Amino acid sequence: MEQATSEGTLNREQLHELAQQLRVDSVRAAAAANSGHPTSSMSAADLMAVLYAKYLRYDFSAPENPANDHVVFSKGHASPLLYALYKAVGAIDDEELLSFRKFGSRMEGHPTPELPWVDVATGSLGQGLPIAVGIALAGAKLERADFRVWTLCGDSELAEGSMWEAFEHAGYAGLSNLIAIVDVNRLGQRGPTMHEWDTSSLAARVAACGWDVQEIDGHDIEAIDAAYARALETDRPAAIFARTKKGAGVAAVEDKENAHGKPLGDAEEAIEELGGERSLSVSVKAPSEAPPYEIDRADVERPAYELGEKVATRGAYGDALAWLGSVDERVVALDGEVGNSTYAERFAAKHPDRFFEMYIAEQQMVAAAVGLQVRGWKPFASSFGAFLSRAYDFVRMAAISDADLKLCGSHVGVSIGEDGPSQMALEDIASLRAVLGSVVLYPCDPNQTVQLLDAMRQHRGISYLRTTRGATPTLYEPGESFEVGGSRTLRSSDDDAVTLIGAGITLHESLSAADQLAESGVVARVIDLYSVKPVDADTLLKAAAETRALVTVEDHWPEGGIGETVAGVLAGAGASTPLTRLAVSGRPGSGPPADLLAAAGIDSDSIVAAVEKLDLG
Amino acid sequence: MEQATSEGTLNREQLHELAQQLRVDSVRAAAAANSGHPTSSMSAADLMAVLYAKYLRYDFSAPENPANDHVVFSKGHASPLLYALYKAVGAIDDEELLSFRKFGSRMEGHPTPELPWVDVATGSLGQGLPIAVGIALAGAKLERADFRVWTLCGDSELAEGSMWEAFEHAGYAGLSNLIAIVDVNRLGQRGPTMHEWDTSSLAARVAACGWDVQEIDGHDIEAIDAAYARALETDRPAAIFARTKKGAGVAAVEDKENAHGKPLGDAEEAIEELGGERSLSVSVKAPSEAPPYEIDRADVERPAYELGEKVATRGAYGDALAWLGSVDERVVALDGEVGNSTYAERFAAKHPDRFFEMYIAEQQMVAAAVGLQVRGWKPFASSFGAFLSRAYDFVRMAAISDADLKLCGSHVGVSIGEDGPSQMALEDIASLRAVLGSVVLYPCDPNQTVQLLDAMRQHRGISYLRTTRGATPTLYEPGESFEVGGSRTLRSSDDDAVTLIGAGITLHESLSAADQLAESGVVARVIDLYSVKPVDADTLLKAAAETRALVTVEDHWPEGGIGETVAGVLAGAGASTPLTRLAVSGRPGSGPPADLLAAAGIDSDSIVAAVEKLDLG
């Protein structure tokens, strides 16, 4: 190992040498794996060499240090470059570098937080920059810290609208701590990008968003150096469009098509062309100390609702969120310009400093939440449940990032009424259950909502709360306990013939159906399955054993919701109690909620009719 | 009813009168419904009055006329305005207008194709313009027709990245038949927009995308008229930023906050302020005839693979798509810049005129497909299955539009190997099953892929094909029949003790497991459940009756996939045969496919181990 250089002292030639080493190590890692993206790494090697050697402030021995800068590889497929940097700074050794993409190695195909220096998983393009906006928001708006967020972007990913949500929001918020370095290597996966090296259109748009924009030669060390220096000076977010060559440094692949995402044909020759292996090490600048900061905290009482009081669970969400803001100063809230519908505005009214209006940009909203939790904040992001589907890929990736992300979707199901199907979340349970490690909660009353939202606050991971537009009666006492993974049996006796299982709006319909059935002598057990994932299998199997039929009722499509959750439990246990699943199966229209619930076959009359068809003898 | 005016002859005062009528009727409709968005309608009334009276070419008695212009209300909540226009052109009567938002009425809260003049459902903001791009692509690139696509956008929805994907793509494609009219009324749902009336940043960005851009006063009839005239002249897509006042014309709500999405407080007074009810009728210009056009068609033979030949189903997708392009000239294909991975490039090679490279913009890709099917084309859009999650809201809305949309997601599951979890679709079955009326297919071999893709071509609706990255052996003869809703039992005997159910990659693991089990004397039935939705319940129930246990195996999360589909069938029938569900339950990493399948517990050894734990006595 050559002598470690001290910070900031590398001259131009040394920086070039470091960049060549990063290229060589990228080529070697991909060769060892026989897969990966060396050419996408080689284009950005000069950019990253200068960043790590001269500008980054980061203590690799203490990645948890809050004063550290952040580096986000939005072009996550350039992972060989990132890992080559980790080797150059001494965070990993050569052996680990060469474990790239091998089973069990932390050197995964795309970076994940399995590595302590990686904040979030990337690899789905267009996500790194919006997440970086969230990290930068934490620094600029909450912590008043001076860390910087350096983001390496690809040019292909500028086709993703989410990138433009990020440019827009960062400009709007004036995030001078955010630097986007765009590696304009002209070539996407299958051929040239839309703009190739003509960065004028992109630069004009980013400038119009309020950024400081530079266009440079991304292989010119001095130009890179000057660009970073200017980026630190500006009081706006800084974008650097760096024109580069994919595969730079190796003639066989440099600026060539059909060289994406594969190892070089002749790695040995390429390494020789790059000047051979090197073992330069880099001292990265130490961060200064993170400044102390205070969070404004208004006192808000825990909301409590009287039995029988009619309150929409979305309203209780707003009340509970405002309360949680007083309980826990790490709680922050994000809104997708519907805060007066989700009632996130009630949090904003009490804790304006911790409220982020993200406008109608659900991808940026969820991405910002992911960025905020990188800094230890507990973000609650809400919109109509239907519109959270816009950010599904971001939630998927947040799970791979092991993010602590709390989502709330309001206006679920046909019960919203007149607004019609475009506004109705009818797939949210299915899609959000199918997220690694997620929790899906669906309260039926305001006191339960308060309790479950607090459970979400305390739960680390991805959780989702489903709220209802219309007011429903309060069924539970304030402070009654509801746990993730629990359920509540509201009606139960030794004479139960059938079990009705609902949650949210359909729990009320189930109770009403039970009343009607009782009049005709059929005794029904009623279960409030408020925790759809994880689910209380014991209670369901007990009901299967003790009653002669089960009926699930849900304001959701039949697929992947409450009915299939229950079916999975029953089939897993080999329970022979037949299950009838009532769910929304046709296209709903507009109309009063009661008419739509009836038309969908999920109101109390439909439940009664379904039970009457059963053989309960 | 006042005398119908003839086309194009309305003077400025008459156009103002028409606009006032549209406002009055918007107010009346919302008052009758006691809900809706009258103020968002009133801001755009002048813009639409001039469009319908002077510029639109549309035969309301023949909405299927291919020469008609298209009008897309991207701000779908302005439905009262749209319905007021339908009344003004004589397409509906006043009684129907006043059925707005009533149960059973076509006058839904947000427009849907239940109305013959509506091409696509809107109401999820940011979707109308990207879909309009698809309609315009059909006119400009395929039909060489001269219809125009007029799109009314809101200013709030410009925060959605999907709008910027649309501006980018339309500029890139030079769609001079596309006109975006942005109703800049300054106020979103909960307060001011980011830019309010300062349209300079937005205009600069749209101009940088290659559009002709104008900024006007959206209540100035002459300015509107001049702007439309110029929009027809330019050889680029045209954007008109029209500064307006929300609730224009009624002092109580004009440019006021807290007046979004609700009827006016005093409708009678408002109508009086607007000059009272009117009954103007408008003659819309007739369209010219649609020109004939020819589609290039290359002859491609139906692909056929030999038994045992190892071929990836993604490769067969490419081959089959190229073949279908010859079979059916309405078939078009769209790629999200991964055509050399999905193998959509094989279609491009044969039918370049019908291939649309959409770059890494999955929302725009799916939206363009929806737009293309508006014109009767049969779009197949493909990307990595994981990245289709980016467009989930667009698929959700496509179902409400009753769209004919064919999707293919490649690189599904952990079996992709080294690229790692960011690239693995593990939630696609769950999310795409939970779409109204969808079909979900998952082939295990290339000949089956060909057959199923042809079935998708013939099926009208939303369908999804899931393909595998790695090569798997050909199991079926070329031309063997596979139907939507079918299954194939590959191993079956009277001695079957257990049934193994797989699809795609896990079908092969199931066959291998059956071989291993046979050696230890356990006879296993094997079912290829290639049609996950709709599912072949009869075959599953027969297996439940004839064998003592069922095991599903899927390269997907446990939620909402094959296992729960089967569980739903079993529980619905009250079958007591226990079901074991093998699925991916932990976070996968990078590594060889075989290692990842084993780690996830879905390889043949895991299946054998699961069967060995069962009580098959």
Q: Do B165 and A165 touch (CB under 8 A)?
A: no
- The answer to whether B69 and B56 are in contact (CB under 8 A) is yes
Element (H, E) at A380: strand A378-384
Find chain A residues with C-beta within 8 A of B194's C-beta.
168, 172, 359
Q: Give the mean model confidence (pLDDT) for residues B375-396.
A: 98
Closest in A76, A102, A360 to B157, CB measured:
A360
Closest in A361, A402, A427 to B159, CB measured:
A361
Q: Give the mean model confidence (pLDDT) for residues B317-328.
A: 98
Catalytic center residues of A: 362
Asked if the bond preceding A192 is cis, omega within 30° of 0, the reply is no
Asked if the bond preceding A592 is cis, omega within 30° of 0, the reply is no
DSSP state of A141: I
For the cut 60, the answer to whether the pLDDT of residue B5 exceeds it is no
Find chain A residues with C-beta within 8 A of B581's C-beta.
568, 572
Token digits for A312? Answer: 């929409």
Q: Do B390 and A392 touch (CB under 8 A)?
A: yes
> What was the pLDDT predicted at A423?
98
Q: Which residue is listed with tokens 């026989």?
A: A34
pLDDT tens, residue by residue, B555-572 = 999 999 999 999 999 999
For the cut 80, the answer to whether the pLDDT of residue B617 exceeds it is no
Cα A126 to the chain's mean position, in Å? 13
> What was the pLDDT predicted at A4?
44
Q: Do B581 and A568 touch (CB under 8 A)?
A: yes
Distances in Å between the Cα of A561 and the Cα atoms of A414, A441, A528 are 15, 12, 14
Distances in Å between the Cα of A292 and the Cα atoms of A285, A333, A509, B153, B512 are 21, 22, 52, 45, 61
Q: Do B210 and A201 touch (CB under 8 A)?
A: yes
Distance, in angstroms, between A291 CA and closest chain B CA? Answer: 31
Residue B322 CA to residue B324 CA, distance in Å, equals 6
Find chain A residues with C-beta within 8 A of B159's C-beta.
165, 168, 337, 359-361
Closest residue on chain A to B360 (Cα): A159
> What was the pLDDT predicted at B481?
97
For the cut 90, the answer to whether the pLDDT of residue B137 exceeds it is yes
Q: Give the mean model confidence (pLDDT) for residues B255-263.
A: 96
> What was the pLDDT predicted at A529?
98
Token digits for A260? Answer: 């994406």
> What was the pLDDT predicted at B297?
84
> What was the pLDDT predicted at A297?
84
Closest in A121, A341, A359 to B422, CB measured:
A121
Distance, in angstroms, between A585 CA and closest chain B CA? Answer: 7
Residue A286 CA to residue B400 CA, distance in Å, equals 55
pLDDT tens, residue by residue, B154-182 = 999 999 999 999 999 999 999 999 999 99
Q: Do A159 and B172 touch (CB under 8 A)?
A: no
- Which amino acid is it at B479? G
Q: Do B418 and A36 touch (CB under 8 A)?
A: yes
The four Cα atoms A188, A191, A193, A197 give a dihedral, to 10 degrees, of 100
Distance, in angstroms, between B14 CA and closest chain A CA? Answer: 33
Distance, in angstroms, between A419 CA and closest chain B CA? Answer: 4
Angle value at C-alpha B114, between B112 and B115, nearest 5 degrees: 85
> What was the pLDDT predicted at A617?
75
Beta strands in B66-202 (DSSP E): 70-73, 149-154, 178-184
Residue B163 CA to residue B75 CA, distance in Å, equals 12
pLDDT tens, residue by residue, B346-367 = 999 999 999 999 999 999 999 9
pLDDT tens, residue by residue, B406-434 = 999 999 999 999 999 999 999 999 999 99
Residue A137 CA to residue A143 CA, distance in Å, equals 9
Angle value at C-alpha A475, between A473 and A479, nearest 5 degrees: 125
- The answer to whether A500 and A533 are in contact (CB under 8 A) is no
Q: Do A161 and B165 touch (CB under 8 A)?
A: yes
Closest CA to A11 of A56, A53, A51: A53
> What was the pLDDT predicted at A296?
85
Distances in Å between the Cα of A472 and the Cα atoms of A506, A509, A585 are 11, 11, 24
Residue A377 CA to residue B485 CA, distance in Å, equals 47
Q: Do B559 and A434 touch (CB under 8 A)?
A: yes
Find chain A residues with C-beta within 8 A of B578's C-beta.
571-574
CB pairs under 8 A between A and B: 367
**Residues lower than pLDDT 70 in chain A:** 1-8
Closest in A108, A194, A402 to B590, CB measured:
A108
Burial A8-29 (b: 16+ CB within 10 A, else e): eebeeebbbbbbbbbbbbbbbb
The band of B8, judged by pLDDT with boundaries at 50, 70 and 90, is low
Catalytic center residues of B: 362
Closest in B114, B364, B560 to A433, CB measured:
B560
Q: Do A567 and B563 touch (CB under 8 A)?
A: no
Q: What is the DSSP string of A23-67?
A: HHHHHHHHHHHT-S-HHHHHTTHHHHHHIIIII-B--TT-TT-TT
Distance, in angstroms, between B359 CA and closest chain A CA? Answer: 7
- The answer to whether A438 and A463 are in contact (CB under 8 A) is yes
Find chain B residues with C-beta within 8 A of A209's C-beta.
201, 205
